[in-house]
Amino acid sequence: MLTLDHHPSGRHFLQIPGPSPVPDRILRAMSLPTIDHRGPEFGALGLKVLAGLKQVFQTEHPVVVYPASGTGAWEAALANVCSPGDQLLMVETGHFATLWKKLAERLGLQPEFITLPGTCAQTGLPNAWRHGVPAERIAERLKADTGHAIKAVCVVHNETSTGVTSDIAAVRRAIDAAGHPALLMVDSISGLASAEFRHDAWGVDVTVSGSQKGLMLPPGISFNALSPKALAAARTATLPKAFWAWDEIVEMNQSGYWPYTPNTNLLYGLHEALDMILGQGLDVIFARHQRWAAGVRAAVQAWGLPIQCADPAVYSPVLTGVVTPEGVDADALRKLIHTRFDLSLGTGLGKVKGRMFRIGHLGDCNDLTLMAALSGCEMGLKLAGVPLAGSGVAAAIAHFAAHPAPTAG
Ligand SMILES: *Cc1c(COP(=O)(O)O)cnc(C)c1O
């Protein structure tokens, strides 16, 4: 823990699945003086970051930037396209899907939660929190909605509380197969710029994202990527919207400015992040995250601990959820690891609190930072008296050695 009178030597290992470590290049870029947000230099910066963001979301359409955490962008997405009492179809994939649903309820909307029933016999965890979105259940439910009362289908692309991704293109196909006009709204707050994501090609109407995960920025800005259909829906939707309203922002963004004071220094950081990400190429970045994830899973499997994601087809490239044995408090383990090794791991959230911890492997990592994190986990597990089947560290070394990193494009 960083306090004024405590200066641990060496770097803290921030291995939670967001905020992710901020590269020095980005920190330096953010330390430049704040400029006039109505002046000529600002417009050039605005146009550049907005164009770069479109490339990262893989869209031709506007991306709105808010000076808010991801939660603000969740609210913005709903407030722009919904009218009071609108029905939504959501899927319980974990804690973040649950929070988005609660937020929808507080806005006066009527979300319906599709959930996978039951509990896993091996881990005792809810099945819904170990799987991705079942697209066929969405198709079924939409077919039954003959009056087209459901306004939008809202799903989480990379469920950060579980380490499970969802097949967004399959959700689009399910909506189309049902011949239903619902909008497709996707939370890719922790997926963007780490896990493959294609806003236009996958037919997403609103993508919600944030700065502090794959984009390697500090928390504080968040995004709505839009489709023409979402922009059209916003024109007739009647939930009150002022600060979040897309129309004024999109209008002023055409010249690189905002209707209010934007988060100038975070935009400097975003400019730098986009330069790093687009310079390396999204495909290289996606492959890199998949490779890290495979190395971390090799370690977890060698320990003999269950990976929270029960479906190998949707393992998250961003983080891995590790289930602790019954009777081992995962939060006590995390605390021990933090105290002894200055390594932060993600806590179990909501229904899996105390039963699992999360290893983030996103953004500004490399093989050796991940090896350090896995060493911290293995030492901590041993200190906590957890019986391990074998050495995860040795397994990860073997994995990374046998699978050289793809070279940067
Ligand atoms: C981090 C995260 C959020 C919440 O974003 P905040 O910036 O904390 O408001 C929402 N959804 C997912 C999937 C996330 O990973």
Confidence of residue 407 (pLDDT cuts 50, 70, 90): low
**How far is the centre of ligand 1, averaged over its atoms, from the C-alpha of 143 (Å)?**
31
CA triple 10-189-86, angle to 5 deg: 155
pLDDT greater than 60 at residue 1: no
Q: Is 75 in the pocket of ligand 1 (CB under 6 A)?
A: no
Q: How far is the CA of 274 from the centre of ligand 1 (A)?
A: 20
In this predicted structure, the answer to whether residue 233 has a pLDDT above a threshold of 70 is: yes
The pLDDT value given to residue 4: 65
Distance, CA of 36 to chain centre = 32
User: With bands split at pLDDT 50, 70 and 90, how would you rate the model's confidence at 9?
Assistant: confident
> In angstroms, how far is CA 218 from the centroid of its own chain?
14
Contact 187 CB / ligand 1 (< 6 Å): yes
| Residues in contact with 114: Cβ distance below 8 Å, sequence separation at least 6, in sequence order | 89, 90, 91, 92, 133, 134, 137, 138, 141
DSSP 381: H
Binding site membership of 186 for ligand 1 (Cβ less than 6 Å): no
Instruction: Kindly list the structural domains of the chain, giving each domain's residue range(s) and its CATH number in brackets, ordered by start.
Output: 13-20+281-402 (3.90.1150.10), 24-280 (3.40.640.10)
CB 341 near ligand 1, within 6 Å: no
Q: Over range 130-143, report the average pLDDT.
A: 98
In 177-296, DSSP assigns E strands to 183-187, 206-210, 222-226
Tell me, in angstroms, the distance from the centre of ligand 1 to residue 40's CA: 33
Task: Point out the ligand 1 atom lying closest to the alpha carbon of residue 212.
Answer: 7
pLDDT band of 409, cuts 50, 70, 90: very low
Query: Mutation test of ligand 1: which of 71, 162, 192, 213 has the most ligand atoms closer than 8 Å to its C-beta?
Result: 71
User: Does the pLDDT value for residue 403 go beyond 50?
Assistant: yes
pLDDT on residue 408: 46
Q: Tell me how far apart the alpha carbons of residues 360 and 156 are, in angstroms, rounded to a whole number.
A: 17
Contact indicator for 220, 211 with CB cutoff of 8 Å: yes
Strands (E), 115-170: 150-156, 158-159, 164-165
pLDDT one-digit tens code per residue, 332-369: 999 999 999 999 999 999 999 999 999 999 999 999 99
Question: What sign has the CA pseudo-torsion 333, 335, 339, 344?
Answer: positive
Residue of 99, 160, 318 best suited for mutating to test ligand 1, as the one with most atoms within 8 Å of CB: 160
Per-residue pLDDT at 6 = 67
Peptide bond into 111 cis (omega under 30): no
Among 16, 20, 90, 96, name the best residue to mutate to test ligand 1's pocket (greatest count of ligand atoms within 8 A of Cβ).
96
> What is the bridge-based pairing of β-strands 319-323 and 356-360?
antiparallel
pLDDT score at 332 = 98
Sign of the CA dihedral 339, 341, 343, 348? negative
Binding site for substrate, by residue number, is 358
- Which residue of 93, 189, 211 sits with most ligand 1 atoms within 8 Å of its CB, as the best mutation to test the pocket? 189
DSSP code at position 217:
P
96 pocket-lining for ligand 1 (C-beta < 6 Å): yes
d(CA 169, CA 202) in angstroms, rounded, equals 5
Shortest-distance atom of ligand 1 to CA 210: 7
Q: Is 189 in the pocket of ligand 1 (CB under 6 A)?
A: yes
Provide the terminal-to-terminal Cα distance of the chain, rounded to the nearest Å.
37
Atom of ligand 1 nearest to the CA of 160: 15
Q: Element (H or E) spanning 157, and its range?
A: none
Phi, psi dihedrals of residue 388, rounded to the nearest 5°: -110, 145
Half-sphere exposure of 125 (CA within 13 A, CB side): 30
Q: Is 165 in the pocket of ligand 1 (CB under 6 A)?
A: no
Mean pLDDT, range 206-216, rounded to an integer = 98
State the distance from the centre of ligand 1 to the C-alpha of 21, rounded, in angstroms. 16
190 within ligand 1 shell (Cβ under 6 A): yes
What are the φ/ψ torsions at residue 64 (nearest 5 degrees)? -95, 135
Phi, psi angles (nearest 5°) of residue 13: -95, 100
